[in-house]
């Protein structure tokens, strides 16, 4: 059973494709890495699956009734917003909020447990602007824990954080996989992918290879992906679907 189906999908900006004619399925309960050179369209694909970017052509089909959570890159988040760790994590319960946006009285223990689970006990009243990159990522993972989603999308979750934080958060990813959640992560570290992700999509604006990680991440495929991105024409004609 598939959690996500991509159907001749083209995504882009200002009608210029960044990912084009991509078809395939991500199985329910699978753990999949999306890798490729800079400019390969990895984050664009994740935004499309998350619903933050509409297709220029083709379609994205999610399994009916599945809840989805999306973690963008840290660079896209406003760290200056005056909010504490506790409140940031509590946002993961937004779908449980009452009619006036209030979270039930029994939620405090759940929020504190999520904060402790990512190693941030004692940081509840710390402003997010005062957190290190690794601490911020831990807080964001705690928010994901509370979202309790069936499909979890992670964009560069281990970039610019220390080795211990990476190991702790990777353990959470593997826990989600063990709970039969569908996890899709954009990653740069090929060795982490080889070690921890059974399935991989190698992207270079289109699929280079997609399947078992050992079969996908061959030297020949990695070289092909790099050459495809280098050869891409950024001045190509726009997609016709929205040209009117």
In tens, the pLDDT along 99-114 reads: 345 565 678 999 999 9
Q: Are residues 171 and 127 in the same domain?
A: no
Whether 244 is covered by a domain: the verdict is no
What SS3 string covers 179-201?
CCCEEEEECCCHHHHHHHCCEEE
In tens, the pLDDT along 186-232 reads: 999 999 999 999 999 999 999 999 999 999 999 999 999 999 999 87
DSSP, res 84 = B
pLDDT score at 232: 73
Q: Are residues 1 and 93 in the same domain?
A: no
Which of 10, 136, 33 has the alpha carbon at shortest distance from 85? 136
Query: For residue 139, with 0-12 CB atoms within 10 Å meaning exposed, 13-18 middle and 19 or more buried, which class applies?
Result: buried
Which of 163, 164, 185, 179 has the alpha carbon at shortest distance from 43? 185
pLDDT score at 231: 86
Q: Are residues 212 and 103 in the same domain?
A: no
pLDDT score at 100: 42
Among 148, 168, 184, give the residue marking a domain's end: 148
Q: What angle do CA 83, 88, 90 make, to 5 degrees?
A: 130
Q: Are residues 57 and 154 in the same domain?
A: yes
Whether 72 is covered by a domain: the verdict is no
Asked if 186 and 34 touch (Cβ cutoff 8 Å), the reply is yes
Whether 162 is covered by a domain: the verdict is yes
Q: Are residues 105 and 134 in the same domain?
A: yes
Q: Are residues 95 and 82 in the same domain?
A: yes
Q: Report the domain count for the chain.
A: 2
Whether 73 is covered by a domain: the verdict is no
Among 95, 117, 148, give the residue marking a domain's end: 148
Among 148, 182, 205, give the residue marking a domain's end: 148
The mean pLDDT values, 10 residues at a time, for the chain of 244 residues are 97 90 97 97 97 96 95 83 94 66 72 96 96 95 96 96 96 97 97 97 97 98 95 58 42
What is the domain extent for residue 156? 1-67+149-239
Asked if 60 and 4 touch (Cβ cutoff 8 Å), the reply is yes
């Amino acid at each position: 059973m598939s959690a996500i189906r991509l159907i001749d999908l083209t995504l882009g900006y200002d009608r210029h494709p960044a990912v084009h004619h991509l078809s395939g399925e991500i199985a329910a309960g699978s753990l999949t890495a999306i890798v490729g050179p800079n400019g390969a369209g990895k984050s664009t694909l994740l935004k499309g699956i998350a619903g933050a970017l509409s297709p220029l052509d083709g379609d994205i089909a999610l399994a009916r009734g599945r809840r989805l959570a999306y973690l963008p890159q840290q660079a896209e988040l406003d760290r200056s917003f005056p909010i504490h760790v506790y409140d940031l994590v509590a946002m993961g319960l937004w779908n449980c909020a009452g009619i006036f946006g209030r979270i039930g009285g029994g939620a405090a223990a759940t929020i504190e447990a999520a904060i402790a689970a990512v190693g941030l006990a004692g940081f509840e009243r710390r402003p997010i602007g005062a957190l290190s990159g690794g601490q911020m990522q831990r807080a964001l993972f705690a928010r994901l824990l509370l979202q309790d989603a069936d499909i979890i999308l992670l964009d560069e979750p281990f970039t610019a954080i220390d080795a211990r934080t990476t190991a702790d958060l990777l353990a959470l990813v593997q826990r989600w996989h063990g709970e039969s959640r569908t996890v899709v992560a954009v990653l740069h570290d090929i060795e982490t992918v080889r070690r921890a992700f059974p399935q991989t999509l190698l992207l270079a604006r289109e699929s280079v290879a997609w399947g078992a990680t050992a079969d996908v991440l061959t030297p020949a495929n990695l070289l092909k992906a790099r050459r495809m991105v280098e050869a891409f024409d950024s001045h190509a004609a726009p997609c016709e679907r929205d040209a009117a």
